[in-house]
Structure 1
Amino acid sequence: MSSSRVHHECTYRLDARQVFDSLKHNPRKAKYAHHLARACWYGSRIMLRQTSPEAEGIFDFILELHRACGGQWDMLEAHGATGEDIDAFLEFAGLFLSGLENHFDDGDRRVIPTISAASFRAMASISPDATSKLEAILGPMLAPQPAALGYPSATSLSGYYLGIAPENTRLHRVLTSGEDAEPELPAFEILQASAEKDTAPKLLGEVTIENGQRAKVFLQRGDHAQEMADICAELTQAIEHASPGEQEAALSYLVESFRTGNYEAFREADKIWVRDKAPSVEHCMGFLFGYRDPYGARAEWQAASGIAHREETSKMKDLVAKSTELIRALPWAVAGENDGKGPFEPTEPDVPDFAIIYVLASVSSTVWEATNMTIEDNGETIGIKSIVYGNRTSLNSTPGRPCYYVHSSEAKKYMESAHIVRTIGTAIHELIGHGTGKLLYETSPGKFNFQVGQPPISPVTKEPIRTWYKEGQTYTSVFGDLATTVEECRAFLVASYLADNKDVLALYGYNEQSTPSADDVVYYAYLHIGVEGLRALRSFNAESRTWAGDHDRAQFAILKHLLLDGHGVISIIKHDEDNALYVQVNRSKILSHGKPSLGRMLCRIHTCHCTADIETCRPYYESLSDLDQDGDYEEWRRIVVSKTEPKWKFVQPNTFLLDDGTVELREYEASNAGIILSFLERGL
């Protein structure tokens, strides 16, 4: 088909050529990077199964249709498809593959292609295999329900619920067979991801479910067995090219975990991996974060690998060196106590490993701008890694994206500075936001990691704390469904609270003589709070009164807090004539009212986080992240969802190990067709 039919304007290429070419002199590192990237990509089908029952079939259909037409999409017109149908299909396919899911609308709502069943069948008629794959998924792909992710019901679904660490599991209810079967206790199978597969489920015991009924629980290893085996094979080859020591040991434990399903081996891998400082090739992969599980425990497969950009990473060393100084500037710090950091920070500084890498593979429901991994063991921090994905963050400055929530009189300057705000904010968010905090624990019976006889004074209540983590508890187990969003809120707040730090701004080259000036960057940072808080409303489901995005929920809660507590530092102006919302920031109140207000919210969230005080945190956070059903916030939400924003689509490169032992990097056109071709050539 002609290139004019392919949607280029919203498809972005993750360029990695420059950093990949830096490995030309080191073929061992190039092979190491190749095998890590391949291991990441082999988790793609896991991602698909975690989203919806039909997602893997849609994936296979898209690739089969490409094979049948050889990438010459206009050939489908000869089989009865219109050019408009082909365009619509390519747009759906590009978005689907970019996030490996068919739930990419606002609020994690399922997207139904705007193509009729007859048109789909016309396209698929190009080959018997395409027709067969289409018929297997056509009904559920076009069905209006279930429409969103969530606890399984008539209107929502989850790929996670079909004594064991929950992150790498799914839950499956076993149905009795036949009406004449003997009545038995209900049964559930915990499906555990592993290359090894049990011949029969293992009975773990009985539990009490709803209405006091008892149920049997079984463990069945071997979920995603083929994918886990492929991942292990690539990681095993990566070990051959890894540096001796931490890299070899961490990958060996990772292979053991993925082979057996043993999550303790995964934790051991993380403890070693976090000590591998400043590697030239970096990775993180596994069942990492519970963003999509409605309960917040079972984790989505996420994987990324890439090559460090030495020059950009070196710029961050000064920020890392200032981390202790920055922590002393946070609102819970106490002068003269714990080196000025106060009782809610570790005594020994946890110096994080901070790197900017250009990803060769990012396999998740979105291409994240950064990842922070704080590895803990029984309340003690083992280490911290903050990874910023440079070839993703650089795309924030791409021109042409809409700016709905800043008035036209200053929208141009805001958009020119938005990537500056995001770059600095992301660095602080990952380094200081996620890198701070001491969880107060009873580490074993009668033993604590703080003076329980003289407990710390809460900066909120001004009284001794009364709660802490009991033996065996974790932050996730205590905070449950709020764990991820509260933690993201804490990190966003830290970044916003430190947005005016002139030393940090100077590290990035912004002072009173720069363009924009340091004061301008601070002003745009507060505008950014409002813009992102409004944009986040797309993630709120007005029917179920729930949030689909943990980050979105956090950003709206911060905006709402500033509106209620910031004494006019920020306001939302509604223009009825053009159905528009604009963020307005009072420059004169940023330091006098805005920063103290952010500090009050940050202090409360941080103290609850450190002291396991979910009883205080839950009503506070749920109130801030709630929308009144008939008031301003709901009206704002309706306006926000009426503003169409182009979805982010990314085409990523592939690496190939050639017969002569060299590694080839292959990049693709920034188009829907390019995204499809890149997946076809991955051979998944």
Structure 2
Amino acid sequence: MSSSDFNYLDIRFADIQMLRYRLDGFDGLSLNQKKLIYCLAEATLWGRDITFGQFGGYNLKIRKTLEAVVLSRDIARTTLDYIALKDYLRRVWFSSGIYHHYGCEKFKPGFSEAYFRNAVAMADVALLPLDGMTVGELCDELVPVIFDSDVLPTRLNKIAGDDLVATSANTYYVNVTQAEAEAFYDVQKKTGDGERPVSYGLNTTLVKDSTGEFSEKTWCTEGLYGPVISRIVYWLEKAMEHAENDAQRDVISTLIEFYRTGSLDVFDEYSVKWVKSTDGMVDFINGFIEVYSDPLGLKGSWEGIVEYKDIEATRRTRTVSDNAQWFEDHSPVDVRFRKPVVKGVTANVVKAAMLGGDEYPSTAIGINLPNADWIRAEHGSKSVTIGNLISAYSVASRESGMSEEFIADEETKLLVERYGEVCDELHTDLHECLGHGSGRLLPGVNSDALKEYGNTIEEARADLFGLYYMADEKMTELGLLPDGEAYKAHYYTYMMNGLMTQLVRIEPGRNIEEAHMRNRALVARWCLAEGTAVKMVKGDDGRTFVHIEDYARLRSLFAVLLAEVQRIKSEGDYGAARNLVEAYGVKIDAHLHAEVLERYRRLDIAPYKGFINPVLVPVSDQEGNVVDIKVDYTESYDEQMLRYGREYSMV
């Protein structure tokens, strides 16, 4: 099947367009590598319910209840209420719960409470998560959560001045306030290893009981999420049988030990081994990784991804990683905050083979891990750019009309058409491979010192690193960009996105909440406020456009801001982080927002996109031996989600 014949698009609903991604080159892998990918894929799919559970205490129950309704043979499927309920369920599937995956606000159902109660009463009782309750009692429990906008209204609250823990609906903390959580982990940090601190609180729920005592409930095979984690371990053990080498086998074995013990020391041991394991064709991420969903930036949401290398495309990222020391030495940040010696930077372009948890259906296109600063400093990091997902996004964006609607002039449109894709790929490489891995903390600075602003500052730091270097003549010298004009395409689209087009993802009247969006707004608005490189201008028809008056000056502004953001991180300057994010990264101009939403509405395109996983199908001979793994792309979004609910759930 050629790329032109492949159907990338599936269903569209709410503000979401579902896409498929291709596994080019999969057929050329060895049978053992295919089996390894299959086993790791099963381990990835089994973590799904953990993410649902982390993102809200009622998510799994609501999902199961709604799935029972849509599977009911007796319910009418053409009524407006049913259609609204089905779309609500699709949003729940997409966001791993009842909260928007980006904005974190609770979904508003388009069906009535009376319809919901009647529909649940018609569902197959065997499919409902009753757990000893009657159908009426189940509805009584779920109705306020679904229909009352004041009950658990947001998954992740980031409003300055609020108790961010008590007002967030995730399940990382139970009966705990923000002050209590911060005090609890401050004690651990003060008594722990200051040179090589573990990721305190990464894999636990912090609970305060009725007597006021605090305890951590660990996420492991014998603890919270134990049945699901045991299934992950089962498939990891199967994967070990097909490991490509001893180092890869040791990585998987150590991850299994972490899942069984919950020990953060073992997690660090696993992370170090994972960084050093670079020889195989196949790699994976599986575990409690990113902390963006915790208002305090401590708890890791569960995620999984299985990948294999794109050898040809990796030559670009290897060029970047091989010159990591040059980039660090020439950074515009204070020499005190640079790494004297950059260690172990590895970068690959990969093809995703399976997505799971917080990486599914909405996923990153680039990843840099591990997150522990001391591991980065001593052992390095691994970065990936996920090429087949970028390709799917690129195909979906063609003919969207975005350039015609939002780019100010024909010259800039042509610039973006010519250089946009190569610049996007390079910025992802620089962001993930070098940006996140650059710089260092001063001695004694805690990696969590920036608290709720840490994620935004870190993303700004990586973005600014990439932006600054894209305009450097080193890019053409290394063959990473075709000429010295190419970088301008990315400078323009980045500023346009940060100032305008990303606003289509936010409902009127709301602030920017998500860390990556805050980062882009912060960078773009700070540069705009300087007034010498970028302006917002009105066209003859009244539409607002971004106009870059001086690209060289804009680069110098990126340098100044990068130096300040790195200082904030290196010194752990919480006050400066708060002031910078709150001043530039949060509030929205209501008039501009309304204009952008109206212009986007006329284009009739979905602001968010997500992915349907391919189905990996074992092929056996007459004796029952697996002789191949085939890839099936025909499963629809609804079919996949209902199948996952049946096959990968312990609820």
TM-score (norm: length of structure 1): 0.77
AA aligned to 1:556 is A
Q: Quick one: distance in 1 between partners of 2:420 and 2:83?
A: 32
1:294-345 deviation digits (Å, cap 9, x = unpaired) = 1111121122111112222233222222333333332137xxxxxxxx4433
Does residue 360 (structure 1) correspond to residue 360 (structure 2)? The answer is no
Go from structure 1 to structure 2 and tell me whether the alpha carbon gap of 1:377 and 1:500 turns closer, same or farther (over 3 Å shift): closer
Residue in structure 2 matched with residue 182 of structure 1 by the alignment: none
Residue in structure 2 matched with residue 555 of structure 1 by the alignment: 520
Residue in structure 2 matched with residue 107 of structure 1 by the alignment: 103
Residue in structure 2 matched with residue 91 of structure 1 by the alignment: 87
Does residue 529 (structure 1) correspond to residue 495 (structure 2)? The answer is yes
Q: Quick one: distance in 1 between partners of 2:507 and 2:213?
A: 32
Does residue 7 (structure 1) correspond to residue 33 (structure 2)? The answer is no
Give the Å deviation of 1:613.
3.6
AA aligned to 1:192 is T
Gaps of 5+ in 2: 1-8, 131-137, 158-162, 175-187, 189-198
Does residue 44 (structure 1) correspond to residue 48 (structure 2)? The answer is yes
AA aligned to 1:107 is G
2:534 to 545, 557, 570: 570
1:230-249 alignment, distance < 5 Å: 230-249=231-250
Give the Å deviation of 1:482.
1.7
Counterpart contact for 2:459–2:519, Cα < 8 Å: yes
Q: Quick one: distance in 2 between partners of 1:487 and 1:347?
A: 20
Task: Let me know the Cα RMSD of the aligned residues.
Answer: 3.3
Secondary structure in 2 matching 1:359:
strand
Does residue 653 (structure 1) correspond to residue 614 (structure 2)? The answer is yes
2:429 to 412, 427, 430: 427
Residue in structure 2 matched with residue 215 of structure 1 by the alignment: none
Residue identity over aligned pairs, in percent, reads 19
Q: Quick one: distance in 1 between partners of 2:575 and 2:12?
A: 49
Go from structure 1 to structure 2 and tell me whether the alpha carbon gap of 1:357 and 1:621 turns closer, same or farther (over 3 Å shift): same
Give the Å deviation of 1:434.
0.9
Go from structure 1 to structure 2 and tell me whether the alpha carbon gap of 1:223 and 1:416 turns closer, same or farther (over 3 Å shift): farther
AA aligned to 1:608 is I
1:572-651 alignment, distance < 5 Å: 572-573=536-537, 580-586=543-549, 589-591=550-552, 593-627=553-587, 633-640=589-596, 643-644=600-601, 645-651=606-612
1:338-394 deviation digits (Å, cap 9, x = unpaired) = xxxx44333333241111222122221631111101454378331210011122111
Residue in structure 1 matched with residue 457 of structure 2 by the alignment: 486
Residue-pair matches, total:
583
AA aligned to 1:422 is D
Secondary structure in 1 matching 2:353:
strand
Counterpart contact for 2:200–2:298, Cα < 8 Å: no
1:435-484 deviation digits (Å, cap 9, x = unpaired) = 2112232xxxxxxxxxxxxxxxxxxxxxxxxxxxx2xx5312x2221221
Counterpart contact for 2:307–2:352, Cα < 8 Å: yes
Counterpart contact for 2:173–2:206, Cα < 8 Å: yes
Q: Quick one: distance in 1 between partners of 2:318 and 2:165?
A: 49
1:105-254 alignment, distance < 5 Å: 107-120=103-116, 124=120, 125=122, 127-130=124-127, 135=139, 137-145=142-150, 146-149=152-155, 150=157, 156-162=168-174, 163=188, 165-175=200-210, 185-196=211-222, 222-254=223-255
Q: Quick one: distance in 1 between partners of 2:235 and 2:41?
A: 9
Give the Å deviation of 1:424.
1.5
Q: Quick one: distance in 1 between partners of 2:495 and 2:10?
A: 37
Residue in structure 1 matched with residue 192 of structure 2 by the alignment: none
Give the Å deviation of 1:626.
4.6
Give the Å deviation of 1:245.
3.0
Counterpart contact for 1:536–1:553, Cα < 8 Å: no
Go from structure 1 to structure 2 and tell me whether the alpha carbon gap of 1:317 and 1:139 turns closer, same or farther (over 3 Å shift): same
Residue in structure 2 matched with residue 180 of structure 1 by the alignment: none
Residue in structure 2 matched with residue 210 of structure 1 by the alignment: none
Decide which structure has the larger Cα Rg and report it. 1
Counterpart contact for 1:95–1:649, Cα < 8 Å: no
AA aligned to 2:377 is E
Give the Å deviation of 1:640.
4.5
Give the Å deviation of 1:129.
3.6
More divergent stretch after superposition (492-501 vs 314-323): 314-323
Residue in structure 2 matched with residue 61 of structure 1 by the alignment: 65
More divergent stretch after superposition (314-323 vs 279-288): 314-323
AA aligned to 1:22 is G
Secondary structure in 2 matching 1:371:
strand
AA aligned to 2:209 is V
More divergent stretch after superposition (637-646 vs 291-300): 637-646
Go from structure 1 to structure 2 and tell me whether the alpha carbon gap of 1:90 and 1:421 turns closer, same or farther (over 3 Å shift): farther
1:182-212 deviation digits (Å, cap 9, x = unpaired) = xxx423342210111xxxxxxxxxxxxxxxx
1:381-418 deviation digits (Å, cap 9, x = unpaired) = 31210011122111332225462543475786446754
Give the Å deviation of 1:94.
3.2
Go from structure 1 to structure 2 and tell me whether the alpha carbon gap of 1:367 and 1:105 turns closer, same or farther (over 3 Å shift): closer
Residue in structure 2 matched with residue 679 of structure 1 by the alignment: 644
Give the Å deviation of 1:121.
5.1
Counterpart contact for 2:201–2:298, Cα < 8 Å: yes
Does residue 331 (structure 1) correspond to residue 319 (structure 2)? The answer is no
Go from structure 1 to structure 2 and tell me whether the alpha carbon gap of 1:540 and 1:114 turns closer, same or farther (over 3 Å shift): closer
Residue in structure 1 matched with residue 485 of structure 2 by the alignment: 519
Go from structure 1 to structure 2 and tell me whether the alpha carbon gap of 1:407 and 1:89 turns closer, same or farther (over 3 Å shift): farther
1:48-70 deviation digits (Å, cap 9, x = unpaired) = 0111122112332354456555x
Gaps of 5+ in 1: 70-77, 176-184, 197-221, 334-341, 442-469, 513-517
Counterpart contact for 1:575–1:581, Cα < 8 Å: yes
Counterpart contact for 2:85–2:109, Cα < 8 Å: yes
Does residue 18 (structure 1) correspond to residue 36 (structure 2)? The answer is no
Go from structure 1 to structure 2 and tell me whether the alpha carbon gap of 1:231 and 1:651 turns closer, same or farther (over 3 Å shift): same
Go from structure 1 to structure 2 and tell me whether the alpha carbon gap of 1:565 and 1:650 turns closer, same or farther (over 3 Å shift): same
Secondary structure in 2 matching 1:228:
helix
